[in-house]
Amino acid sequence: MTRWRITVEYDGTGFVGWQRQENGPSIQEALESAIERFSGETPRVFGAGRTDAGVHASGQVAHFDLEKATGAATVADALNAHLRPDPIAVLDAAAVEPTFDARISARQRAYLYRIVNRRAPLTTDRDRAWPVQTPLDARAMNEAAARLVGKHDFSTFRASLCQARSPIKTLDVLDVAREGEEIRIEVRARSFLHRQVRNIVGTLKLVGEGRWSADDVTAALEARDRSKGGPTAPACGLFLTEVLY
Amino acid sequence: MTRWRITVEYDGTGFVGWQRQENGPSIQEALESAIERFSGETPRVFGAGRTDAGVHASGQVAHFDLEKATGAATVADALNAHLRPDPIAVLDAAAVEPTFDARISARQRAYLYRIVNRRAPLTTDRDRAWPVQTPLDARAMNEAAARLVGKHDFSTFRASLCQARSPIKTLDVLDVAREGEEIRIEVRARSFLHRQVRNIVGTLKLVGEGRWSADDVTAALEARDRSKGGPTAPACGLFLTEVLY
């Protein structure tokens, strides 16, 4: 038995999300099917981040166990061959210690949220960024973002369906930077509440539009009440970019 | 009568190319239809670059004439509304002198060719880059590219269907640079032969693989014979990025 760690990239547009569900195709199911077609075995695949429907990944990490003896390059190439034509790619595969757990062993998860801030609709970036027409002040967004860095009760930014035991999380990084017409929001933490990143981005957009101040963000955080936060930003702008162990 | 200059972005994947054709949807036809629905007029739209099927643009420029008196913001917004759901966007519109001609007045056209150089297939970049699995030496490609800069007879890199009167063109810029797993090839010239960029990229890939030297590129150029050049790179990696006047 070998435990395999894989790094996975995907375009989440046509999927119900990472997690296997009855109502449509998931990334997990596509990977498990590819593993079965390659090996004849039916291990469960465990991912570091349970991305929602429409959320993308450039650096998701997952693990699974195989009886079959094989090499790392073969695992990656065979899975990629069996994943076609789904927009899911195994970037890397490695044999790891049997104690490695993609979800539990993770020290830090990194997400990127992309906003394209212009009047014209998207073409080549459609479904891979949030198009926002109102001019956004990225500097003001970045200043307000600093209010959320550190250890806080994030109930204001937590989806009602969130199953985490505690609403207390520690944001290591929350940076907002403009690159031309694109606004890139980088966020890093050991773990996140359900929809935390998208709820934070929807709130920072209010700041970018000048409708909210940084103090309003602090007040919303301190209210510990989802109804005091901004709206949820759409899934299409979100990318799981890296998981550190 | 007002002459309008528009800057246009599009995902060329589902189109037969810029130019109106019988066998499928074109960018030109989509723009002309949107103009008619907005204004009731049926002007012809002239583009700076006749991009092939599957080629994208982030900065195509075109012009057309309208009798209707209207403002620049209205032209852009109305065309974008009528272009939905096509992945075509008008980034900018401006009233210009009646002597302005998007094709003839252009001083320089810029293209970007994107190669993603890795073993794994593409997901979020599918149809928007050329996936090349063999490791490529971008520095060797850049050195060989220098052999093609300047004024030359580019018959070796000219499609057999090319209608240009002369095969002599002047490349102002041909730069190859690696950014992580992506290789970006920037090329600038007043004008190009048909498929010149894709034929040059297909040749530079042979250099990147170590199969050709820079001297082989010089010899191919001097042969003035399409059969002595490398294969044509696929359309999906090519973007018309800028037109200067």
Rounded to an integer, what distance in angstroms lies between the CA atom of residue A102 and that of residue B157? 49
Which pLDDT tens digit goes with each residue over B17-36? 999 999 999 999 999 999 99
Confidence at residue B162, expressed as pLDDT on a 0 to 100 scale: 82
Which pLDDT tens digit goes with each residue over B57-75? 999 999 999 999 999 999 9
* C-beta of residue A203 within 8 angstroms of C-beta of residue A187: no
Sequence-ordered alpha helix ranges (H) in B103-195: 138-145
Domains located in chain A, CATH noted: 2-96 (3.30.70.580), 108-244 (3.30.70.660)
Tokens 């034509």 appear where?
Answer: A85
Tokens 């599957």 appear where?
Answer: B54
Residue from B123, B125, B133, B181 whose CB has the most chain A CBs within 10 Å, to mutate = B123
Average pLDDT across chain B, whole number: 97
Which pLDDT tens digit goes with each residue over A232-245? 999 999 999 999 99
Burial A24-63 (b: 16+ CB within 10 A, else e): eebbbbbbbebbeebbeeebebebbbbbbbbbbbbbbbbb
Closest residue to A80, CB basis, from B10, B89, B120: B120
Distance from CA of B81 to the nearest CA of A (A): 9
**Token representation of residue A84:** 């076609």
Sign, CA dihedral B150-B153-B157-B158, equals: positive
Cross-chain residue pair B76–A119, CB shorter than 8 Å: yes
Q: For A82, which residue in chain B has the nearest alpha carbon? A: B121
Which pLDDT tens digit goes with each residue over B196-230? 999 999 999 999 999 999 999 999 999 999 999 99
- B112 DSSP β-pair partners: B186, B239
Distance from CA of B187 to the nearest CA of A (A): 20
Cα–Cα distance list, B77 to A33, B40, B62, B63, B242 (Å): 45, 16, 16, 16, 21
Which pLDDT tens digit goes with each residue over A44-102? 999 999 999 999 999 999 999 999 999 999 999 999 999 999 999 999 999 999 999 99
Confidence at residue A132, expressed as pLDDT on a 0 to 100 scale: 98
Confidence at residue A166, expressed as pLDDT on a 0 to 100 scale: 95
Cβ pairs bridging A and B (under 8 Å): 64
**Which A-chain residues 15-54 have CB contacts (< 8 A) with chain B?**
none
* C-beta of residue B114 within 8 angstroms of C-beta of residue B43: no
Whole-complex ipTM: 0.93
Cα–Cα distance list, A142 to A118, A181, A202, B37, B242 (Å): 19, 16, 13, 42, 31
Write out the H or E segment, with its range, that includes residue A192. Answer: none
Write out the H or E segment, with its range, that includes residue B235. Answer: none
- Residue A197 clears pLDDT 90, i.e. is over it: yes
Confidence at residue A122, expressed as pLDDT on a 0 to 100 scale: 98
| Interface check A118 vs B, CB under 8 A | yes
Confidence at residue A224, expressed as pLDDT on a 0 to 100 scale: 97
Confidence at residue B163, expressed as pLDDT on a 0 to 100 scale: 84
Which pLDDT tens digit goes with each residue over B137-188? 999 999 999 999 999 999 999 998 888 889 999 999 999 999 999 999 999 9
Confidence of residue A30 (pLDDT cuts 50, 70, 90): very high
Confidence at residue B161, expressed as pLDDT on a 0 to 100 scale: 83
Confidence at residue A43, expressed as pLDDT on a 0 to 100 scale: 97
Confidence at residue A160, expressed as pLDDT on a 0 to 100 scale: 85
Rounded to an integer, what distance in angstroms lies between the CA atom of residue B45 and that of residue B191? 19
Average pLDDT across chain A, whole number: 97
> Does A137 qualify as catalytic in the annotation?
no
| Interface check A65 vs B, CB under 8 A | no
Which pLDDT tens digit goes with each residue over A139-173? 999 999 999 999 999 999 999 888 888 999 999 99
Closest residue to A123, CB basis, from B89, B121, B123: B89
Sequence-ordered alpha helix ranges (H) in chain A: 27-39, 72-83, 138-145, 196-208, 214-223
Cross-chain residue pair A120–B80, CB shorter than 8 Å: yes
pTM, two decimals, is: 0.95
Instruction: Determine whether B143 is exposed, middle or buried from the number of CB atoms within 10 Å of its CB (0-12, 13-18, 19+).
Output: middle
Tokens 């940076």 appear where?
Answer: A175
Rounded to an integer, what distance in angstroms lies between the CA atom of residue A202 and that of residue A194? 14
Cross-chain residue pair A123–B87, CB shorter than 8 Å: yes
| Interface check A182 vs B, CB under 8 A | no
* C-beta of residue A145 within 8 angstroms of C-beta of residue A204: yes
Burial A116-131 (b: 16+ CB within 10 A, else e): bbbbbbbbbbbbbbbb
Confidence at residue A163, expressed as pLDDT on a 0 to 100 scale: 84
Confidence at residue A157, expressed as pLDDT on a 0 to 100 scale: 97
- Residue B76 clears pLDDT 90, i.e. is over it: yes
- A5 DSSP β-pair partners: A63, A94
Q: For A93, which residue in chain B has the nearest alpha carbon? A: B120
Q: For A239, which residue in chain B has the nearest alpha carbon? A: B124
| Interface check A72 vs B, CB under 8 A | no
Which of helix, strand or coil describes residue B153?
strand
